Structure formats: C-alpha cells, structure tokens
Structure 1
Amino acid sequence: MTSNLTRRRFFRTATLGTAGAALAAPALAQGGTELKMLTCWPKNFPGLGTSAERFAQRVAAASDGKLRIKVYGAGEIVAPFEVLDAVAAGAGDLTHDTSYYWFGKDPAFVFFAVVPFGLTADEHFTWLKFGGGQELWDELGAAHGVKPLANLNTGAQMGGWFKSPINSAADLQGLRVRYPGLGGQMLSRLGATPVNIPGGELFTALQSGTIDGLEWIAPWNDLAFGFYRTAQHYYYPGFHEMGHTLSSYVNADVWSGLSSSEQAIMQSAADAEYVTSLAEYNARNLDALTTLVDDHDVQLHEWPIDILVEMKRMAPEVLAESAAKSPMATKVHENWLAFRETQRRWGDIGDYANARLKQG
C-alpha cells in the first residue's frame, strides 16, 4: 500500500510540474465547479470525442452550469494510456477511456469493457443495472481510487483491417496486429503478435508497416481515420467486441466531494449518453460502410470459418485463464458467466433477431 501511495504522489507531482497549476483539482469558479476530463482520443473525434463533449454538455445543462466538465484530448495533459493513473493521483478529475486498457492493473477490468463472444450492448447495460455488475465495478474502482461510470457503447464492432487478405488461420502467422484486450491474446495463439497502440497513432503505424493489421471500432470511426488509404481488406464480424462499453473513472475524492444531486446528475448523464451513443453508432455505421466499399474500393470479407471456429473454441479457455490471475477477476468472472447464461436463455425466446432468423 505504501508503494502505491508513493507512486500516486510521485505521478501527481511529476504531472503537475509539467502541466502547471491548471491541473489543480477540481477548480471552483463563478459559483460552480469545473472538472477536468482526460480522454484517450483525439478531441472531438467522431463518436468517442464527440460523445465525451455531449456528456459534458448534459452535466452542465442538468446542473444549470454549476457543475461543468472541460474535455481534454489525448496527449493534451497526459498520454492516452496514463489517464487512469493521472485521475487516481488527482492530476485530473475523470477519464474517458475503455476499461480493457487497464488489464495490467487487474484482469477484472476487461469485463467492464468487452469480452470476446460476450455480452451485447443492451445485455451489458442490463448486467450493470440489474445483474450486480455495477456493484462489482464499484468495488474494483475503489481499489484503484476511482468511481466508474459507463457512458458510451459503440455496439458491435468490425474484425479489422489488413494489408493482405486473410484466407485461413495460417495467414495470421507472424503478423503484427493492433488488437487490444482478450481478442489480441486469442489471435496470438494463432501466430499473430498483438501490439497496443493509442488510437491517434494507428494510421501512421499501419502506413509505415509498424503493424500489418488493426482493429479500431466500426465503419463510422474507421472511415474518419482513413485506414482504407493504406489497407483494403476489411473483416467482420467483430467476435472480440460484440458491444464495447466505454467509461469514465472519477477520482474517488472528487466523487465523494460532490453532492448527492451532483452525483445523480453525473450518473443520469452517463446513462443517457450510453443509450444515445449506441443509437448514433447504429445509425451511422452502414452509411459509412457503404462509402468505404462503393467509393474507396474496400474489400469486405467475412472471417474465414476456421478462424471463427477456433476463436469460439478457445474463448472460454482464454477468459478463464485471465480471470484466474486475480481474486477480483475471478469474482467478476463468476458473476458475469451466470448473468450471460440467463441472458442467452431469454434471448433464445424473446430476441426479435432470433425470431426473424427462424422466419427466413
């Protein structure tokens, strides 16, 4: 515990020393409070960045401007993969990130982002609200000095971009691919080498040959990043991310310092943005995919069946191995598995997509 406290104090001192007094948390001005949000994305990037701004706008509107959030893009204050440490140390007030970036801190974090062959966006929200997920997430967050909020979901993602076609699992041998989370671990078992690169650096890495392929999000965001200019082979389905939840981690002291009404405003704004962002992604992805295929000659491929079969086979094994690495991950895994089973049973009966499939 002493070493963690020392690390947090050092991080805050180092960050404040380089960034200046503007990072003193949280700022009181004009009869209100301004919180600093440190994000992992380019500022105002479609979907991720604009959703962060919209969340901030919701909070300001609901509080009559008494609680405000200033959004900082990736690298403006700290590097993308440093935002959680920065906020926990008090060098920022809340993050805008994805939880699987923090796998190295505890494997339990991945369950609150997305798991291969896991929960859809609506199932994940249901787990958080009515399946015990939020309580487990709060417990995990408290151990790291933060309060977690789910405030965005991209829906189903794509399988990624490759410079050369992938016709079988053999074609993955030796490829360097940007595939974070457990999906990357699964690809590594087929011979690929996963690397973790922040979103803002992906196009350059792909163009320069630092990586041979990548997954980012889905057509709307992938079109904006222009991956089609250097890779033409685009794969689906995104078996690794069936409904990716993004998050804000609020510094624990900042959260406890908010009034009950301010906490309720933050929670309601996060809930509203989760639903709105999912709708926006669902609305925009097909138009973007049509543009990629029709205007930019992107070749759309379904993953080869041998890869899909092998990925589905190994998913429970990889998940169990990861969950066994920490007591918290084991606890979350057990709850998550039980909930997924109930949702699958209900989905077999009540899911309209299943009914439509059976109708032909």
Structure 2
Amino acid sequence: MRFTSRTALATTLTLAVSVTAATARDLRYAAFVGTQHPSLSVSLEPMFERLREATDGELNFTTFPLGQLLGARAILEGIDDGVADGGMVVPHWYPSDIPSVVNYANMAVYGTDPFAIAGAVSEAMLLNCPECVEEYAEAGARILGAYSTTPFVLQCTTPVSSLADLDGLRVKTTGIMGPRLERLSAVPSNIPSPEMAEGLQRNQLDCVLASMDWYSSYGLQGIVTDVTEAPLGTVRGMSLMAFSTETWAELSEEHRALMLREISYAVADMMIGQEALVQDSREKAAAQGVTFHKGDETLVSALAPSAVDEELIAAYAADIGVENYAEQVEAFKAALSKWEAIVAETGRDREAFAQALYDEVYSKLK
C-alpha cells in the first residue's frame, strides 16, 4: 500500500527549487522491522522516494531492515556513533538515555484515539518537553516522526476471557504495560518484538500484548489462537525517524525544511497504514480460526484506567530518573485535549491531519 499526495509533492518541489548547490547525501536508515511493516512500506519508503524526487537525488536514503545495520536495541547508540544517519527508536529500550521520552511512552491510560495521541505526543515532546529534546541531543539524535500505536490487545495461544485467566500467563509487554499486568498476576516479559513469534512457538510466552496490526507485521499468523480486546491503551512516543544531529547540521536549510514537511506526511501515513493493517489482520485472523474475546466484567474492570495506574506510571518515572513527571503528564493532557478537538475536524483525512501536524508542530522546528 502506498499513499501519494499531489499537494505534498507540489509543496516539496516548491521548497526544493532553491536548492542549487547542495551536495548529494547517501543516508543510512536502520530498521529492526521488515520491509512489509507499515513504518517502512507505507510511511518511510514513500517519504524517502518523495525526497529523492524533490531533490533530484541529493537526499538519498538506503534502508537496512531486520537489523541488518543495527540491532533493535542498538539503533540510538549507532546513530550517535555515525553507523546510521537515522532509525526507528522504541523509547522503552533506552530508559537511561531518554527517560523523559520513556515517561511519555508510558502514558498509556490517557486517551483512546491513536491519531489524537500521535498529535499530542508530538507536540508535547517536541515543543513542551525540553528534557526530551535535550536527552535525545545528548544521545546524538533528534526526535522526528513521533507516533502512537493502535490500541493494544492480548494475542495468545490460550483463551483469556476473565481476570482469572490472566493468572500466571507469561505475557510479552512494553514499559508500564508490564507492571499493569503484573499486579493482575500475569508474568510480564520484555522479550524484543522481533522475537515474539518464536517465543510463542517455543512456549516461552502465552501471550503478546501488542497492536492487532502486529499479527501481520510480526508474523503471528498461525501461532496466535485467541485475541482479547479489553481496554489496554496504546504505546506512544516512538520515533519513526530518530535523526543524527551531526547529519542534520550538515544538511542545507532547504533540505531540513523538506524533511520537516515530509515527516508530517510520514506520521499521517503511519497512522492510516496501521489502522488499515489492523482491519486486514482482524479479517485474516478470523479467516484462520482465531477466536476474539471482549473479556468479561472482571477483566474489563481490572484493566480500566485507574488511580493505581497513575501511581504505577509515577513510580516507573521515578525509577528511571524523571524529575518532573507531573509537569510532563500535565503537558501531555493539555496537548491531548487540543488534539482531540483537531482530530474531530480532520478525521482520518491524510492531507488534513498531516497539515495540522505540520502547522502545530513541525513548522515550529528548525
């Protein structure tokens, strides 16, 4: 699937006209996912192609998928070391490097609309969290393309319909999701996402807590037998394009402007692509005999956002050294309220959402 935009291309071409003496750059992008993952197939690869076309090849990205250049937990360090110019960063894998960003990623109990959450976390982290920007800078990178997953569900090899069913289950989790399930007697595991399918096959895991689109993009077909869609929240704050500060400084002003414009469309494409893949994954799973559970009252009430969850988020933030947890939560809540109103107007329209993201966030960066 590839989303195209005449408006976007016209804008980038207009910006590129003034680029007359820029030096061609061959840039390396490190990914831990495969080429069929929506972050690449729907979002970044089309963006890289638009950048190549708009700059007559002066900005040329080569993608290294499946950890070919850097492993999943080595991307941020690899950007700092100059091995890659950019890469996808999952904050939870770098708690000592970017703790404030991890704190934003952990705010799973706030908000339900992934589009509004994506806009809110982008604005809150990039414009209202100097600690987030500074932590990334100290790691040799800058945040570009912050987004949110679609709602997490339990994808299991055993039925989970009640709170009692969770007892003792080994569940691959992310960040605060681990403590949330642990207090309900599950056994969390932080096994890397690319190893989920193997963990389920080898009986090292009973479930993975993940977006439904992961069913397709992480090869869970034929392994998962049951899906539980209780309220589990989303993970937000991942960076589609953590970009080298050194490389960024070497780009021309026009090329930086192009990147900031195009990353807005990349985020919109990622959000749209994820939701399309969720629907496709649900249809494939149903056709393959996967059973979907809503969860009974015991499970739904136990997983509903509560004051206990806020205490868990605060404790997690303290453990990783976040000093102004409360201020960051309030900044996100304020941004979320604003973006819920914006998304009520833009809906899932690519042009409208990307333009809002550019106007409210990326146009204010340099």
TM-score normalised by L of structure 1: 0.78
Is 1:182–1:240's contact at 8 Å kept on the other side of the alignment? no
Q: Compare 261-270 and 193-202 and name the one that shifted more.
A: 193-202
Cα distance in 1 for partners of 2:244, 2:343 equals 39
| Per-residue deviation, residues 88-133 of structure 1 (Å, max 9, x unmatched) | 1222111123223323434322245463122443333443565464
Residues 104 and 33 of structure 1: CA distance in aligned 2, closer, same or farther (over 3 Å): same
Q: Compare 209-218 and 129-138 and name the one that shifted more.
A: 129-138
- The alignment status of 1:117 with 2:112, answered yes or no, reads no
Amino acid at match of 2:136: G
Counterpart selection for 1:183 from 163, 177, 180: 177
Amino acid at match of 1:325: D
Amino acid at match of 2:133: D
Cα offset, 1:188, TM superposition: 1.7
- The alignment status of 1:82 with 2:82, answered yes or no, reads no
Cα offset, 1:207, TM superposition: 0.8
**1:55-74 equivalences in 2 (<5 Å):** 55-74=47-66
| Per-residue deviation, residues 154-186 of structure 1 (Å, max 9, x unmatched) | 4x2331211112233332232221111211221
- The alignment status of 1:251 with 2:244, answered yes or no, reads yes
Is 1:112–1:245's contact at 8 Å kept on the other side of the alignment? no
Is 2:173–2:208's contact at 8 Å kept on the other side of the alignment? yes
Residues 292 and 256 of structure 1: CA distance in aligned 2, closer, same or farther (over 3 Å): same
Partner of 2:37: 46
Cα offset, 1:31, TM superposition: 4.6
Partner of 2:327: 334
CA RMSD of aligned residues (A): 2.9
SS at structure 1 position matched to 2:145 = strand
Is 1:107–1:322's contact at 8 Å kept on the other side of the alignment? no
Cα distance in 2 for partners of 1:52, 1:332 equals 32
| Per-residue deviation, residues 202-223 of structure 1 (Å, max 9, x unmatched) | 211111111111033224x413
Is 2:171–2:205's contact at 8 Å kept on the other side of the alignment? yes
Residues 59 and 111 of structure 1: CA distance in aligned 2, closer, same or farther (over 3 Å): farther
Amino acid at match of 1:52: L
Partner of 2:278: 285
Partner of 1:223: 216
Is 2:122–2:147's contact at 8 Å kept on the other side of the alignment? no
SS at structure 1 position matched to 2:143 = strand
Counterpart selection for 1:142 from 127, 137, 140: 137
SS at structure 2 position matched to 1:80 = coil
Q: How many residues matched? A: 318
Is 1:152–1:270's contact at 8 Å kept on the other side of the alignment? no
Q: Give structure 2 stretches of 5+ with no counterpart.
A: 1-21, 346-366
Is the helix fraction higher in 1 or 2? 1
Cα offset, 1:345, TM superposition: 8.5
Partner of 1:8: none
Residues 330 and 258 of structure 1: CA distance in aligned 2, closer, same or farther (over 3 Å): same
**1:85-164 equivalences in 2 (<5 Å):** 85-113=77-105, 115-119=107-111, 120-128=113-121, 130-131=123-124, 133-136=126-129, 137-150=132-145, 153-154=148-149, 156-164=150-158
Residues 211 and 104 of structure 1: CA distance in aligned 2, closer, same or farther (over 3 Å): farther
Is 2:166–2:185's contact at 8 Å kept on the other side of the alignment? yes
SS at structure 1 position matched to 2:28 = strand
SS at structure 1 position matched to 2:324 = helix
Amino acid at match of 2:191: I
Is 2:101–2:125's contact at 8 Å kept on the other side of the alignment? no
Cα distance in 1 for partners of 2:220, 2:66 equals 20
Cα distance in 1 for partners of 2:163, 2:121 equals 35
Q: Compare 190-199 and 178-187 and name the one that shifted more.
A: 190-199
Is 1:162–1:231's contact at 8 Å kept on the other side of the alignment? yes
SS at structure 2 position matched to 1:277 = helix
Partner of 2:293: 301
Is 1:157–1:243's contact at 8 Å kept on the other side of the alignment? no
Cα distance in 1 for partners of 2:81, 2:30 equals 13
Cα distance in 1 for partners of 2:344, 2:91 equals 28
SS at structure 1 position matched to 2:160 = coil
Cα distance in 2 for partners of 1:349, 1:279 equals 16
Partner of 2:201: 207
Cα distance in 1 for partners of 2:301, 2:172 equals 21
Residues 67 and 316 of structure 1: CA distance in aligned 2, closer, same or farther (over 3 Å): same
Cα offset, 1:276, TM superposition: 1.5
Cα distance in 2 for partners of 1:76, 1:258 equals 25
Q: Give structure 1 stretches of 5+ with no counterpart.
A: 1-29, 353-360
Cα distance in 2 for partners of 1:349, 1:153 equals 16
| Per-residue deviation, residues 19-59 of structure 1 (Å, max 9, x unmatched) | xxxxxxxxxxx9500111111212x1231331332232233
Cα distance in 1 for partners of 2:104, 2:51 equals 23
